[in-house]
Chains A and B, each alone.
Chain A
Amino acid sequence: MQASRARLFKEYKEVQREKGVDPDIQLICDDSNIFKWTALIKGPSETPYEGGVFQLAFAIPEQYPLLPPQVRFLTKIFHPNVHFKTGEICLDILKNAWSPAWTLQSVCRAIIALMSHPEPDSPLNCDSGNLLRSGDVRGYRSMARMYTKLAAMPKKGAESSHTL
């Protein structure tokens, strides 16, 4: 418990210090609980997620960093490796390929990489996976684009609640 708290505090300080170094990722620690974090990540360019801002929720176990954090999308996203309803993410480094040398920051980077390079062969969202597997890239892109527009982009005219 103490070790994970100490480590998270280190990460927290690092995040404060490095603010703005990586413009695609913004990590926010819960004010009252250092084991709860949220992150805002920008959809990578040249993907249907471009221009969207996606919110991630981190639940960090007491054995962190020996065990990986639990991460899920709070923003709805149409992606083969993300559960459409729960936002659960299927990513090897969050499961068996976890290494304690990863940080919350590097997990975010890995998730951005996953958005650019979906793995349709191990899908959590079968509809999306099947579109890609059957070669209907256009179908996949337009669906993904639609959900990005619906869920991950600030409404026109409405004031943006978060700026990156």
Chain B
Amino acid sequence: MDSEDDMHDADDLDSLDDQFYSGYAALGSDDGDEYDFVDNVSDGAEESTSHRQQQNYTILSDADIRLRQEEDISRISTVLSILRSEACILLRHYNWSVSRVHDEWFANEDHVRKVVGLLENSSEMQRTRELTCGICFENYPRDRMTSAACGHPFCHTCWRGYISTSISDGPGCLMLRCPDPSCGAAVGQDMIDLLATHEDKEKYSRYLLRSYIEDNRKTKWCPAPGCEFAVEYIIGSGSFDVCCNCSYGFCWNCTEEAHRPVDCDTVAKWILKNSAESENMNWILANSKPCPKCKRPIEKNQGCMHITCTPPCKFEFCWLCLGSWSEHGERTGGFYACNRYDAAKQEGAYDESERRREMAKNSLERYTHYYERWATNQSSRQKALSDLHSMQNEKFLLFQLEKLSDQQSQPESQLKFIIEAWLQIVECRRVLKWTYAYGFYLPEHEHAKRQFFEYLQGEAESGLERLHQCAEKELQIYLDAQIPMNDFNDFRTKLAGLTSVTRNYFENLVRALETGLKDVGSSNNQATCSKSSSSKSLGSKAKGGKSKATGNSSKSAGPSRSMDDSNLWSCDHCTYANPKSTRTCQMCEHHR
């Protein structure tokens, strides 16, 4: 229902009449943008992901935002026959949702007017020659006083002070009311424009503009520092990744940096873990010992030295020496002391703190493994990005000019492939980085999935290294060269080829991970072919229309197991599909 409303809002700019009758009016709308989007879903083919990314959001510049806001205000003002300033107050109150204003207004106009502070019958100030200002208590002639729709008169100086105080207090000034405490009459932009100083008017209109983006569910500011664009997103329309005109890519849902193929929850968990890990680890080191078998940290808060780890591990051990309990008994000093421990300590062979650190490190190791790789890709990406920028600024221009003068056959457009290669590197580093967070949260026991994932990740890594190497090192030769080189065309072919191969590979990888590698674990022997697995999952997505693209990463596909070839079983170890008749894997000889 929600998304229906929003779709409705987003596109029916022209269809005023349909507005309050049906949410489905939106689909029939012939608004240009929307048409393309709808068209594309039915398309459902390979490219739809990339196309959809272009279609399901709009980047709004300052001018666009102002224009839209003006349009919304005009529409409300026309339809409800109220002043523009009143329409503005009304829209702000209902978070700039045109349809909500309509709904509420036509359901109970009196109530809306009361809540928002729009008086039905504006009363004039008293018809006497002189009036007393309600703030400074001075008397002024009538023409030097102003009131809101309620007729409570205040002098211009006091109004200016009142408005200025409220504006410097923050965006609450957009909900300004008459200064009289018993009166709720709203004070709108018309009065601000009439009474406030130039500076305050500017501030007010900036708050108004910000409110249009910030209070609206469908729009957000680009989170990149210093960026002034906003993004309007069609809610419920697939991938959350948006790329602002400032070239910053982010997730519309959680406003973190773009993180496909990992979903927002995982990202939040990962980021929290990265920030909390060091402190947590200190506490764990100081207060717990890891189970000698499963390495989970255990805090001993009471009881004897005989520790039994919680299921599924259930390992029984001695808290003091961390040795197996089965080796303990009367001869080692019973249940409350451990001779082995005391003896070892006396001999100096046992450095408890050393050992404890050792154990904790094991559980930390896994995390560190993933974190390091995540962070390395992060910094690689930053480096690539800055390389790209500097190339666009200096070197590239020089290079270009050089080539142009030396060798007429290399116009500017012919060198685009280099930029494209770098853009691809930046994008791939981003994806690769997040695959490490993905890997960290991939359940340990799903062996086949893990192995397949690690294989895909490895391939992606080496593919990307190849591209990065080519774009960085090999290009340098041509940058350094003083004379035109004949094999430049070969280089172009190679780099452009690598770029497109890598792009394809990563697109497939993202899709496969987003669907939770669901082909693995089933008896589907196509699992090792990423191409077919991804096109299959994509097909199912297209059929579903607008499904959420951020799939659950850890979900395994149960249903397909029963449907697919029932006379095969897939090896847990290497994923090879074996005939039912065999007990061991024909590929790796792993037992079923």
Residues of A within 8 A of B (CB): 3, 6-7, 10-11, 14, 63, 65-67, 93, 99-102
In this complex, the interface size class of chain B, counting residues with CB under 8 Å from chain A, is 10 to 19
15 A-B residue pairings within 8 Å (CB atoms): A3-B136, A3-B157, A6-B138, A7-B136, A11-B137, A14-B137, A65-B135, A65-B136, A66-B165, A100-B135, A100-B158, A100-B161, A100-B179, A101-B135, A102-B181
Q: In the complex the two chains form, what is the Cα distance from A102 to B134 in whole Å?
A: 9
Contacts of B158 in A (CB 8 A): 3, 100
A101-B161 contact, Cβ under 8 Å, with A7-B135, A7-B136: no
B194 CB, nearest partner CB in chain A, Å: 18
Query: In the complex the two chains form, is A66's CB within 8 Å of B161's CB?
Result: yes
Q: In the complex the two chains form, what is the Cα distance from A7 to B138 in whole Å?
A: 8
B167 CB, nearest partner CB in chain A, Å: 12
B interface majority secondary structure:
loop
A6-B161 contact, Cβ under 8 Å, with A99-B181, A101-B179, A101-B180: no
Q: In the complex the two chains form, what is the Cα distance from A51 to B181 in whole Å?
A: 30
Residue of A63, A66, A93, A101 near B134 (CB, 8 A) is: A101
State whether the Cβ of B162 lies closer than 8 Å to any Cβ in chain A: yes
Q: In the complex the two chains form, what is the Cα distance from A132 to B138 in whole Å?
A: 45
A158 CB, nearest partner CB in chain B, Å: 40
Residue of A10, A63, A99 near B137 (CB, 8 A) is: A10
Query: In the complex the two chains form, is A10's CB within 8 Å of B181's CB?
Result: no
User: B151-176: contact bitstring with A at CB < 8 Å (1 yes, 0 no)?
Assistant: 00000011001101100000000000
**Complex: chain B residue closest to A3, CB-CB:** B136
**Complex: chain A residue closest to B164, CB-CB:** A66
Q: In the complex the two chains form, what is the Cα distance from A114 to B96 in whole Å?
A: 38
Contacts of B134 in A (CB 8 A): 100-101
Residue of A6, A14, A67 near B136 (CB, 8 A) is: A6
Tell me the chain B residues, 165-199 only, with Cβ under 8 Å from chain A.
165, 179-181
A107 CB, nearest partner CB in chain B, Å: 11
B41 CB, nearest partner CB in chain A, Å: 48
Q: In the complex the two chains form, what is the Cα distance from A101 to B159 in whole Å?
A: 11
Closest 7 CB pairs of A and B: A10-B137, A66-B165, A99-B181, A100-B135, A101-B134, A101-B179, A66-B161
**Complex: chain B residue closest to A6, CB-CB:** B136
A16 CB, nearest partner CB in chain B, Å: 14
A63-B165 contact, Cβ under 8 Å, with A99-B181, A100-B179, A101-B179: yes
Tell me the chain B residues, 112-144 only, with Cβ under 8 Å from chain A.
134-138
Q: In the complex the two chains form, what is the Cα distance from A65 to B136 in whole Å?
A: 8
A99-B165 contact, Cβ under 8 Å, with A3-B136, A6-B136: no
A93 CB, nearest partner CB in chain B, Å: 7
Known: A6-B138, A66-B161. 5 other contacts (CB 8 A): A3-B136, A10-B137, A63-B161, A99-B181, A101-B181
Contacts of B162 in A (CB 8 A): 66, 100
Contacts of A66 in B (CB 8 A): 161-162, 164-165
Q: In the complex the two chains form, what is the Cα distance from A102 to B136 in whole Å?
A: 11
Query: In the complex the two chains form, is A67's CB within 8 Å of B165's CB?
Result: yes
